[in-house]
Structure 1
Amino acid sequence: MTLAALRSPRLLTTERLMLIPPGRENLADLIRLKGDERVFGWMLHGVRSAERAREELEDDIDFWEVRGYGTWCVFERASGDFLGICGFMERPDGRGVALRYALWPECRGKGYAREAARAALGFGHRAGLARIIAVAREENEASRAVLTDIGMAPAGEFRHQGHRMLMFESRG
């Protein structure tokens, strides 16, 4: 990581985490994360191939340049370990800008997703996003708890690939 990246207004820090916009140096971590069924099996479009993860990284870099917000790579500050991703995407179904997060299963139960999601949500509203949504499968109780705990309110539901999807929103 460069000194310029550490001084960027796009960098978020919390008590335990550092959220950094992704760069090509993160590709190997992103391929592992996005190729893991335990992590990306819950995500829209599911597990990614290495090639698809590479394409998404390029899209994420471009998204930051165009929008001024996007997805961060999440690192533990104390160890520097890559924990996963958190940030924003434009939902392909037209529902709006959505908060998303995906961290390694080993991170569960430690509050990392909650901490990262809260920081990202605050950044999004400060960046001018008046409405931010999030979507979770009905059976994903952990994700639903995170969204509720960071102040997002229920905002409807829909079905996707046989799953009941619950939508949440935050208005800044």
Structure 2
Amino acid sequence: MPGRLVRTPRLTLVPPGKENLPDLIRLKGDPRVFELMLHGVRSPERTREELEDDIEFWEVRGYGTWCVFETETGEFLGIAGLMERPDGRGVAMRFALWPECRGKGYAREAARAGLEFGHRAGLARIIAVAWEENHASRQVLGDIGMAECDAFDHKGRRMILFESLRRG
């Protein structure tokens, strides 16, 4: 997939394919990873449907969510990338990596790569949403240059909206 594969100093980001389903079922079914994500923990069937949607999204839009791998070991670390928010707020940066990845800068590295890819693909504005109490995600979003621009309540939680505007 020329132009869709992204490499950073430590990571390889690959658009998802059917071969990634077992890893995605483990990731999206783990409450340590997906409990706070929009729509929460996924069933295997829901994960399969989302994978089909993610593959189609790439075909239609030319960007989307990647599976994130540690380049040296090939280990599956999680997902990162861009998705259309179902609430109509726009195209959003998202990332969800195994808890064992915390504190190593992988989420920051993957999110920055996804954000840069999105702007190169022509997206003038990319947003992200983080629960107010999720300080780690908010820190990552700030570190990659996204700015807080709004807030809203969702299911009793205060959500912070971030944005990145393409320069030039």
Distance 1:42 1:150 in 2: 21
Tell me the distance in 1 between the aligned counterparts of 2:60 and 2:102: 32
User: Of 152, 156, 163, which aligns to 1:162?
Assistant: 156
Match of 1:107 in 2: 101
1:143 counterpart residue number: 137
Where does the alignment leave 5 or more consecutive residues of structure 1 unmatched? none
Partner secondary structure for residue 122 of structure 2: coil
In structure 2, C-alpha distance between the alignment counterparts of 1:90 and 1:51, rounded to whole Å: 21
CA distance in structure 2 between the partners assigned to 1:42 and 1:80 by the alignment:
27
Deviation string, structure 1 residues 23-81 (Cα, Å, up to 9, x no partner): 00000000000000000011000000000000000000000000000000000001000
Aligned to 2:52: 58
Q: TM-score, normalised by structure 2?
A: 0.98
Matching of residue 18 in structure 1 with residue 7 in structure 2 = no
**SS of the counterpart of 1:29?**
helix
Inter-partner Cα distance in structure 2 for 1:121 and 1:28: 26
| Alpha-carbon distance in structure 1 between the residues aligned to 2:93 and 2:55 | 17
Q: Out of 78, 89, 100, which is 2:83 matched to?
A: 89
Residue aligned with 1:106, SS = helix
RMSD after superposition: 0.5
Report the count of equivalent residues: 166
* Among candidates 28, 37, 40, match of residue 43 of structure 1: 37
What residue in structure 2 maps to residue 28 of structure 1? 22
- Structure 2: unaligned runs, 5 residues or longer: none
TM-score norm. by structure 1 comes to: 0.96
Question: Which position in structure 2 is the counterpart of 1:72?
Answer: 66
Residues in 2 aligned to 1:132 and 1:82: alpha-carbon distance in whole angstroms? 25
Secondary structure, counterpart of 2:63 in structure 1: coil
> Percent identity at matched positions?
75
The SS at the match of 2:137 is helix
Cα distance in 2, alignment partners of residues 75 and 37 from structure 1: 20
Q: Distance in 1 between matches of 2:48 and 2:150?
A: 33
Secondary structure of 2:107 counterpart? helix
Aligned equivalents of 1:103 and 1:42: distance in 2?
A: 12
